[in-house]
Structure 1
């Protein structure tokens, strides 16, 4: 998977949040998760969590930029086979590696499934993975951190959407952040090749809002709310309070 070709956001400057994309050499689809306002008037802190594509092609210069951002932890949502085939290249970056596979580790091949079906699989098994992941964010010494999967859109997108929703960010902002991956991956100019976890070359194209809104809707239907999902899955009121203390500041 070649994710190193750079793009200028000026080509699509009218997209919401286009100026949030970061230029990290060897990394695609990078941006700060913070900056959004919440329904109760708070704001998600910047400089704490960054979402990206994989770091298998991170350059020493890119690692130096992450060091300047103070990155302490790299959260990898990929399967063990993906990590073994394309390990993160952190160079001299002094950061801990944390692996939280978001797809079920049941031996089933999920890579060739349509995206909507893959998102349903992740939603069905989210209670086994997402609360533990979000809980780690609130642990002392963990942040600032990088969160990534392969291209930084699907597994990463679902994780970020759940986090932002739990923090009180409006769905319209969550959708805008999710759709920014279309620009971050360069697919607005046509489908791009990538290599899945089995080493198969596939094409990825633009995504619409229905994938992420459908995921949030499924969690809310099943659990009453995203907060209800996290609480029932093990990240109770105290855990949510810690998460909000870490990520939120007065507007």
Structure 2
């Protein structure tokens, strides 16, 4: 497996080549950097020396079967930074990733190894299931509709204690309704365009469809119930490690992850960056999807619309954040008034899922 991490930390990059990890740390201070490894996301357990050098380049033998490695590096100034592979090296899912390491507005970081987001868990291999078991995954929040779950049930993971079904009834699951496979779903989408079922304004401005769908998730009663169920799972830290996922890990999960990270005080530009990682990860898959659509239609307007719905654009998430602020004043106000959180619960979540820099 070759996996280049799309983003780890501001000054750290990682590349997996089968069982070998290459780690590069930008060393502006030109001091010796010592890299340590462990198999728990707690700094005090990460104490095996990988190496020490001024270049900040390290190679580490890390077979996936051994578990998930966590690293920390120290320089002569004795600053210690924890990190790991952001996208998990799985064979049957491409977009399962850790939301750790993000800086907050109060100079803390989200903890590694407790907050995950992803695409569906239906095609996981036995090797993948074993890795998720080793990281101690305890709670799954599944945003998919009952139809989606029926077609592609998640693999069973023995460490998981509960699965929370939290379907927001969003437009992103509508295309899958009544479809029995990917080809019939694609046919249904193209047929809806050919029959004039898609409003002209969406063909004129395809981005508008996604933006309005996200905004609808803010206020629709079904979505509010689903988001309320989702966010209250995080109040109890005993539920962690937690993964929230939908089918592709972009829209419903993108919304849920945005809400969680902003409540934890993560800097807005990093929340947007986290959302945009899906675009990098799914680039090849989206290109294959375009080929499938091209086999069904050569109408460029239809293709532009179909690909816009698949795309990952900053405006999709930034316009949603702005919309919540316009409607409710802040993410906190929205979560208190609509999702039933208290300010003390939000503080409790911060204490549970953040650590000092």
TM over 0.5: yes
Residue 231 of structure 2 aligns with which residue? 134
Runs of at least 5 residues in structure 2 that lack an aligned partner in the other structure = 15-85, 177-188, 190-197, 199-208, 293-305
The CA deviation string for residues 151-175 of structure 1, in whole angstroms up to 9 with x for no partner, is: 0011001111111111111111011
Give 3-state SS (helix, strand or coil) of 2:317's partner.
helix
- Matched positions, count: 237
- Which structure carries more strand by proportion? 2
Q: Compare 131-140 and 157-166 and name the one that shifted more.
A: 131-140
**Residue 111 (structure 2) pairs with residue 116 (structure 1):** no
What's 2:327 paired with? 222
Is the 8 Å Cα contact of residues 157 and 178 (structure 1) preserved in structure 2?
yes
* TM-score of the pair, normalised by structure 2: 0.60
1:28 paired residue number: 94
User: Structure 2 CA distance, aligned partners of 1:117 and 1:185?
Assistant: 22
Deviation per CA, 1:70-124: give whole Å up to 9, x if none: 101111011111111211012545442111112259xx94766732232122122
Q: Does 1:241 align with 2:335?
A: no
Unaligned residue ranges in structure 1 (runs of 5+)? 1-5, 196-201
In 2, the alpha carbon distance for the partners of 1:156 and 1:56 equals 16
Aligned-residue Cα RMSD (Å) equals: 3.0
Does the alignment pair 1:8 with 2:3? yes
Partner of 2:238, secondary structure, is coil
Higher relative contact order (CA 8 A, sep 6+): 1
Matches within 5 A, 1:92-103: 92-103=158-169
Tell me the residue number matched to 1:198.
Answer: none
Distance 1:13 1:46, change over 3 A: closer
Indicate the residue corresponding to 1:74 in structure 2.
140
User: For residues 225 and 26 of structure 1, do their structure 2 counterparts lie closer, same or farther at Cα, with a shift above 3 Å needed?
Assistant: same
Aligned with residue 155 of structure 1, among 229, 234, 252: 252
Q: Residues 45-84 of structure 1 correspond to what in structure 2 (within 5 A)?
A: 45-84=111-150
Instruction: Pick the aligned partner of 1:169 from 262, 266, 284.
Output: 266
Q: Structure 1 residues 92, 128: CA separation in 2 closer, same or farther (over 3 Å shift)?
A: closer
Asked if structure 2 preserves the Cα contact closer than 8 Å seen for 1:78 and 1:101, the reply is yes
Following the alignment from structure 2 to structure 1, what is the Cα–Cα distance between the partners of residues 336 and 279?
A: 32
State which drifts further: 15-24 or 28-37: 15-24
Q: Deviations over 1:189-221 (max 9, x none)?
A: 72537x9xxxxxx76643210000111111111
| TM-score (norm: length of structure 1) | 0.83
Q: Answer yes or no: is the 8 Å Cα contact 1:73–1:98 preserved in 2.
A: yes
Q: SS state of the match for residue 262, structure 2?
A: helix
* Aligned residue in 2 for 1:231: 336
Give the Cα separation in 2 of the matches to 1:121 and 1:7: 38
- 1:18, distance to aligned residue in structure 2 (A): 7.4
